Amino acid sequence: MFKVKVYVTLRESVLDPQGKAVTHSLHSLNYPEVSDVRIGKYMELTIEKSERELDEVINEICSKLLANTVIEDYRYEVEECVPQ
C-alpha cells in the first residue's frame, strides 16, 4: 500500500489572481518581505499495490482528474505504508 502526496500548482506563465490577493493582504498586514504568493492544491491518495505500474496509475489520475494540465503542473511523492 502506498500513500501518494500530490501537489498541483498553476504554471508559472498563468496569472494567479488568488495569489495576488493574498500577497496584497499580507502587505496590508505589514509583511512587505513577502514578494509573491502562488496558490495550489494538496491531496493525499492511498493506493493499493496492483499489477499496473504505480507511476502510470498516478500520472493517469493526475492528468485525467486532479490537474488541468493545460494551466496546471503537478508533482507527487510516494511513501510505502503499512495497512493498519
pLDDT in tens, 12-48: 999 999 999 999 999 999 999 999 999 999 999 999 9
Would the pLDDT of 83 be above 70? no
CA nearest to 10, candidates 76, 59, 75, 71: 71
Sole residue written with cell 482528474:
65
Q: Indicate the pLDDT class of residue 82, thresholds 50, 70 and 90.
A: confident
> For residue 2, what are the contacts with CB-CB under 8 A and spacing of at least 6?
46, 47, 48, 49, 54, 78, 79, 80, 81
- What per-residue confidence (pLDDT) applies to 18? 97
Helix ranges (H only) for the chain are 17-28, 54-61
Average pLDDT of 60-77? Answer: 98
Angle at 54 between CA 12 and CA 13, to 5 degrees: 5
